[in-house]
């Protein structure tokens, strides 16, 4: 079993976290390309200052604001190399970046995404939030007791090279949802977003959520975490 090193980077600028991910991803990729066995992989947690990221297949028009307004709301924008469209990251959101060797786990990309979704769904169930998948849309959604057809509580967007993953998921815990008003989240114009705070009507202990989520990620992937 490949050992998994868990690292919580706390509040960190997007570019810095992205660079760190790329460094770890390259380390594993170089090992595989040299024919050596990957013996350690990584799971990163963090929160970001306000930032919008657009995936490589995303549409710029789903970003509804421009540079001057970005500065006004103290946000950054990056076009990046993951799948998916546009999303928002900010304080009060658990962002997870697994840099995993999927080959060593003997799982494919779709199964990998499904296991991430499972871990989030089980975490939310601990707070009596009934979440599920949505056909035709990656991520974790709430489909009941809302005026809209579905609202997203966790976005997922990944990149996989030679079966080494990077990027990951963003779970809205105490997230300021107003920032989603400036985009079409994940390219959807008919679906909204929500957070644990909004669903439960109170601030949530994010450290507690991180611990519970880590437990389920460990279970879903059968990880040996350090």
Q: Give the residue numbers annotated as catalytic, written as ranges.
A: 186
Task: Enter the tokens of residue 167.
Answer: 């990027």
Give burial (CB, 10 Å; 0-12/13-18/19+) of 202. exposed
HSE on the CB side for 172, CA within 13 Å? 30
The sign of the torsion formed by the CA atoms of 56, 62, 65, 66 equals positive
Q: Is 186 helix (H, G, I), strand (E, B) or coil?
A: helix
Place of tokens 């871990």: 119
C-alpha span between 43 and 129 (Å, rounded) = 25
Beta strands in 19-122, from DSSP E residues, in sequence order: 40-47, 51-54, 76-79, 86-89, 93-99
Are the CB atoms for 29 and 164 separated by under 8 Å?
Answer: yes
C-alpha span between 87 and 179 (Å, rounded) = 10
Are the CB atoms for 151 and 140 separated by under 8 Å?
Answer: no
C-alpha span between 188 and 219 (Å, rounded) = 31
Task: Enter the tokens of residue 103.
Answer: 């080959």
């Amino acid at each position: 079993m490949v050992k998994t090193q868990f690292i919580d980077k706390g509040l960190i600028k997007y570019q810095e976290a992205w660079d760190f991910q790329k460094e770890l991803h390259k380390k594993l990729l170089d090992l595989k390309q040299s024919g050596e066995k990957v013996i350690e992989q990584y799971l990163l947690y963090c929160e970001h200052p306000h930032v919008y990221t657009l995936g490589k297949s995303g549409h710029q028009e789903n970003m509804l604001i421009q540079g001057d307004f970005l500065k006004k709301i103290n946000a950054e924008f990056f076009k990046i190399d993951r799948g998916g469209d546009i999303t928002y990251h900010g304080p009060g959101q658990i962002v997870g970046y697994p840099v995993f060797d999927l080959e060593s786990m003997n799982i494919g990309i779709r199964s990998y995404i499904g296991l991430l979704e499972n871990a989030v769904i089980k975490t939310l169930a601990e707070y009596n939030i009934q979440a599920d998948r949505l056909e035709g849309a990656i991520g974790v959604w709430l489909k009941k007791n809302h005026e809209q057809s579905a609202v997203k509580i966790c976005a997922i967007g990944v990149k996989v090279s030679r079966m080494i993953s990077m990027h990951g998921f963003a779970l809205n815990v105490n997230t300021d949802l107003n920032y989603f008003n400036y985009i079409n989240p994940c390219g959807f114009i008919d679906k909204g977003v929500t957070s644990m705070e909004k669903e439960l009507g109170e601030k949530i202990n994010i450290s507690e959520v991180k611990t519970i989520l880590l437990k389920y990620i460990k279970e879903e992937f059968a990880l040996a975490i350090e």
